[in-house]
Amino acid sequence: MKPTHLHPPGRCRMIDEVLSLIGDKWSIYVVVMLGQGKRRFSELKREVDGISQKMLTVTLRGLERDGYVTRTAYATIPPRVEYELTELGQDLLVPVRALGDWANRNESRVVGARIRYDARRAQAAE
């Protein structure tokens, strides 16, 4: 994915980590959901808007592998699996929420900028 070798180790390395940790489409949503408490597979499927069964599975496996969530399966019938944030997952929630809050507070600024940009381009196209 990345040909990083000719770079001063500090900064770019950290960004690499960020992207590899949360760069995919669904992880953040799932983590935020689990931030409100443990969830069953089907609950997540319902709550994470638009996610497919496949991607929920893939995402959860990734989060589990990276130590953000635990998976607990109960051998009942029907089966029942619960996912829960680990301490690492809870920690991650802090900067993630900061980012989310920022996004909330600044949404209008981005939307505004976008409208102005598009307006300028539309005019330039005439």
According to CB under 8 A, which one of 42, 72, 118, 119 is a site residue for a copy of itself?
118
- Residue 113: which of a copy of itself, DNA, none does it interact with, CB under 5 to 8 A by kind? a copy of itself
Q: Which two tokens stand for residue 110?
A: 């981005």
How far is the CA of 44 from the CAs of 20, 52, 66, 79, 124, in angstroms?
22, 11, 19, 15, 46
Of residues 16-75, which lie at the interface with DNA (CB under 7 A)?
24-26, 40-43, 45, 50-55, 57-58, 60-61, 71, 73
Number of helical (H) and strand (E) elements in the chain, helices listed first: 5, 3
CA dist 56 and 88 (Å) reads: 20
According to CB under 8 A, which one of 64, 81, 84, 90 is a site residue for a copy of itself?
64
Binding characters for DNA, 72-111, by CB under 7 A (x = yes): -x----xxxx------------------------------
Residues that bind a copy of itself (CB under 8 A): 1-7, 11-15, 17-19, 21-25, 28-29, 32-33, 35-36, 47, 49-50, 64-68, 88, 91-92, 94-104, 106-107, 109-114, 116-118
